[in-house]
């Protein structure tokens, strides 16, 4: 009886496998085992590959940041009150570099530039005089090529001191005359220390104030 019982269990076929050779069933089982091992291998990547991939991500991020800072925009923080009332001490700005790839700087643009004789020191001022123009300040009024600059509505008070602009300041082909809106509390192109600003000194055009958030908005007209 025992021998017959064992034989019956061996000969019993599972539903759906009638007529299939035993070898094919074994092949299917073997393929399943091989596939499972492959999946395990893919999930367990070597540690050094993960480290290399992470380093590649860091390098790509560094390159992107470099390109953005060099060619697109930088963050700047206003230090001082020379641009009051437009800007105040501690304002956080985005200074964009794209605009001047497509057009020349315009009168009344607010720009950030580096001092020629003091690398690393940056000022933010408004463009008043353009290349080729003659600037003079008399009786608190700015004159461009002998004509009053009536469109200059940005100064917060009459100009008290003209300094070097009390006589004609002739701008070269690549020179700009800049002033702060807080005219009597601004060190700008009226002084020898700043002087005329060359375009190569420009960092970019003040575009957006993003902090404090209550004053969020664009800077230039």
The residues assigned a catalytic role are 82, 125
Tell whether the torsion through CA atoms of 207, 181, 170 and 203 is positive or negative.
negative
CA-CA distance, 22 to 68, in Å (whole number)?
66
Question: 142 pairs with which residues across the strands?
Answer: 137
Strand partners, 217: 209
Are 158 and 140 a contacting pair, CB within 8 Å? Answer: yes
Helices and strands of the chain, counted as H and E runs: 4, 12
Tokens at 150, concatenated = 């009536």
For residues 123 and 113, give the distance between their C-alpha atoms in angstroms, rounded to a whole number. Answer: 6
CA-to-CA dists, residue 32 to 13, 27, 90, angstroms? 21, 9, 66
Residue found by looking up tokens 């496998």 in the block: 17
The Cα 26–Cα 33 span in angstroms is 11
| Residues composing the chain | 221
Among 146, 138, 207, 134, smallest CA distance to 177 is for 134
């Amino acid at each position: 009886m025992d021998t017959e019982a064992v034989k019956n269990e061996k000969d019993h076929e599972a539903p759906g496998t009638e007529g299939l050779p035993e070898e094919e069933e074994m092949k299917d089982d073997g393929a399943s085992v091989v596939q499972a091992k492959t999946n395990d291998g893919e999930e367990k990547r070597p540690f050094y590959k993960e480290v290399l991939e992470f380093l590649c991500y860091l390098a790509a991020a560094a390159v992107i940041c470099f390109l953005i800072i060099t060619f697109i925009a930088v963050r700047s923080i206003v230090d001082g009150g020379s641009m009051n009332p437009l800007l105040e001490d501690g304002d956080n700005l985005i200074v964009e570099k794209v605009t001047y790839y497509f057009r020349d700087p315009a009168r009344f643009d607010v720009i950030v530039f580096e001092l020629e004789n003091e690398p690393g020191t940056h000022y933010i001022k408004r463009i008043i005089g353009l290349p080729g123009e003659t600037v003079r300040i008399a009786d608190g009024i700015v004159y461009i090529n002998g004509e009053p600059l009536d469109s200059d509505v940005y100064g917060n008070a009459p100009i008290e001191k003209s300094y070097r602009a009390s006589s004609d300041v002739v701008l070269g082909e690549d020179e700009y005359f800049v002033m702060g809106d807080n005219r009597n509390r601004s060190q700008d192109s009226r002084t020898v220390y700043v002087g005329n600003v060359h375009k190569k000194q420009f960092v970019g055009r003040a575009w957006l104030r993003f902090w404090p958030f209550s004053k969020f908005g664009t800077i230039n007209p």
